[in-house]
Structure 1
Amino acid sequence: MSRLLREPNIPDPDGFYQALIEAVQGLSPDEALAFSARLNLLLANHVGDREVLAEAIAAARKPD
């Protein structure tokens, strides 16, 4: 049974996307990549479940 939530679950997804865009505005490509890595690690720590994180990594590797 999949434990990774795949249904939309972010209130105001467009607003969240806009916040992400604004967070990297003015950063160099390397700085934006470092920001993304830090954000990923913070969110992974928040999730905290290795099985869910492994499922998310596998899902993110698929180009669908």
Structure 2
Amino acid sequence: MTASTPKLITEAHLEAPDDFYEALIDAHQGLSTDESNAYNARLVLVLANHIGSLAVLREALAAAK
């Protein structure tokens, strides 16, 4: 990785983690398991698109294992 290549941020970085968690839980309210799984898949793709860097995404995939 070069100095200009983005790197995955693994330390706490959310400005309002409890609020995000509440919003995530609220987003799943009323969804079936299949709908919830589909929602999570769409969310992952939206966030991956926002990140954009394949190198960072590969780091995230490895970190999530």
TM-score by length of 1: 0.90
Question: What is the aligned residue count?
Answer: 61
Equivalent AA in structure 1 for residue 32 of structure 2: S
Query: 4+ residue runs of structure 1 moved beyond 3 angstroms?
Result: none
Aligned residue in 1 for 2:8: 4
Q: Which has the higher contact order (CA 8 A, sep 6+)?
A: 2
State the shift of 1:42 in Å: 0.2
Task: Note if 1:27 corresponds to 2:31.
Answer: yes
Q: State the distance in 2 between where 1:9 and 1:56 align.
A: 14
Structure 2 alignment gaps of length 5 or more: none
Task: Note if 1:16 corresponds to 2:37.
Answer: no
2:56 is paired with a residue whose SS is helix
Q: State the distance in 1 between where 2:11 and 2:62 align.
A: 17
Structure 1 alignment gaps of length 5 or more: none
Q: State the distance in 2 between where 1:26 and 1:3 align.
A: 36
> What is the root-mean-square deviation in Å for CA atoms of aligned residues?
1.3
TM-score by length of 2: 0.88
